[in-house]
Amino acid sequence: MKHIQEMTKKDVRDVKLVVFDVDGVLVSRGTKIKTKGNITTLETKKISEENINHIRQLRKKGFQVNINSGRGLYMLQEMFREVLDSVSLTFENGSATWMKGKVYQHVNSFSFLRDVYAPLKRVKHKNIKGFEPKEFIITIHCIDRVKAIERIISKHKDLYYVWNSEAYDIGVKKKQMKSIGLRKVMKLLKLKKKNVMVIGDNYNDRDLLSNGGVAITADKSRVKGDFYVDLSGEQLPAYVLMEKLLSF
Ligand SMILES: [Mg+2]
């Protein structure tokens, strides 16, 4: 793995699409969520003005931009409101993509997940902070692992859970993966693997990074790439990458 500063213009000559994970890449990690009875409070993070400007600059330079996140569409639309004409949004770990106001659904998880909601909701544990509103996957924020959640999901061979040290993402194996969404976007935009650069920081980005022509990891302890960005740098990883791309 090379450091991002070793990246040359030659490394990106075929790149037409830049795909960004959100948490840990465009905003810092950590989601503030709280549930009390039927009231869920969820913080919307802001994309910094400098990152918004950099996304605009990337578009001007001819790159297409895709956001590929585990978050829900309502949240991503809010975060990227100012640049919605410049980005497409692939949400809930590759379940669907929003592009120019149109939603392309890539998977149907209904029949796989409908039976686990009730048992999951019944789990009472001091570690559980709340269910993040989602349409196609299930995300449960917890301060630490909860064995009862893992036991419920393990009984269903079609389902996975990913624990990323702040939440469980629960979805359908081989169907709700960031790479599935990426491949659909590549098809829509008529692009090949070598045309795609991806950046991500977490376990749910592994399949995403392995599907990009140029892969950048923002946490090399969790996911491998062709290049890495320092996790604890002064700037967020997406900013460092965009600075580099804009310098060519
Ligand atoms: Mg992330």
Give distance in angstroms: CA of 165 to centre of ligand 1.
Answer: 11
For residue 225, give both structure tokens. 């790439």
Tell me, yes or no, whether 98 lies in a domain: yes
Tell me, yes or no, whether 36 lies in a domain: no
Give the count of domains, the chain. Answer: 1
At residue 90, the pLDDT reads 98
Give distance in angstroms: CA of 71 to centre of ligand 1.
Answer: 10
Tell me, yes or no, whether 15 lies in a domain: yes
pLDDT tier, 243 (very low <50, low <70, confident <90, very high otherwise): very high
Tell me, yes or no, whether 209 lies in a domain: yes
- pLDDT at residue 10 is higher than 90: yes
Kindly state the DSSP code that residue 47 receives in the 8-state scheme: P
Give distance in angstroms: CA of 70 to centre of ligand 1.
Answer: 8
Q: For residue 99, what are the CA distances in angstroms to 64, 85, 95?
A: 12, 9, 14
- E strands of 69-188, at which residues? 87-91, 96-99, 102-105, 128-132, 138-142, 159-163, 167-172
The average pLDDT across 78-99 equals 97
Residue 205 belongs to a domain with what CATH number? 3.40.50.1000
**Beta strand pairing status for 227-228 and 2-3?**
parallel
Give distance in angstroms: CA of 55 to centre of ligand 1.
Answer: 18
Give distance in angstroms: CA of 16 to centre of ligand 1.
Answer: 22
At residue 69, the pLDDT reads 96
Give distance in angstroms: CA of 232 to centre of ligand 1.
Answer: 14
Tell me, yes or no, whether 9 lies in a domain: yes
Q: What is the pLDDT of residues 150-182, one digit of tens each?
A: 999 999 999 999 999 999 999 999 999 999 999
Tell me, yes or no, whether 162 lies in a domain: no
Rounded CA-CA distance 123/119 in Å is 7
Tell me, yes or no, whether 123 lies in a domain: no
Q: What is the pLDDT of residues 184-219, one digit of tens each?
A: 999 999 999 999 999 999 998 999 999 999 999 999
Tell me, yes or no, whether 63 lies in a domain: yes
Handedness of CA 238, 239, 243, 246 (dihedral sign): positive
Give distance in angstroms: CA of 126 to centre of ligand 1.
Answer: 25
Q: What global pTM score does this model have?
A: 0.96
pLDDT tier, 231 (very low <50, low <70, confident <90, very high otherwise): confident
Residue 235 structural domain: 2-26+52-105+177-246
Give distance in angstroms: CA of 25 to centre of ligand 1.
Answer: 6
